[in-house]
Structure 1
């Protein structure tokens, strides 16, 4: 596989090697890919948790336990107003 690297990324790789943290470009790229994989795993976990929360919220609404949108917006605006007043 051939990979073309942007000049700014090449400079970043060289800087990481120069710092002594890595001995070669393969180590830098391996670390970057592991971090990307971790980020993706965390994102997928967040998506699943969000889906579960949405399912719970839908069930609550079906049972009549929710608030109407206008009430929620008013509560949010009141919180912003209080925060703004506290900051002044």
Structure 2
């Protein structure tokens, strides 16, 4: 596989290499790809967790009698 970098991306990698923190562009890109994978997994977990919370809220709301908007707002204000 071959990839092309924008001048900004190439400059960014060069700056990282010049700092001495990375030995090669490949090493820097490998770390970047690993971090992207971790980000994707964390994002997936967040979405799944959020979906569980939404499902639980819907289930709870199905078991709770409705209230009018004014009552709801007044209850929220009392809590805070």
Asked if TM exceeds 0.5, the reply is yes
TM-score, normalisation: structure 2 = 0.82
Corresponding residue for residue 38 of structure 2? 38
Runs of 4+ in structure 1 off by over 3 angstroms are 65-70
Where does the alignment leave 5 or more consecutive residues of structure 1 unmatched?
Answer: 83-88
CA RMSD of superposed structures (Å)? 2.4
Where does the alignment leave 5 or more consecutive residues of structure 2 unmatched?
Answer: none
TM-score, normalisation: structure 1 = 0.75
In the alignment of these two chains, the number of paired residues is: 76
Distance 1:27 1:64, change over 3 A: same
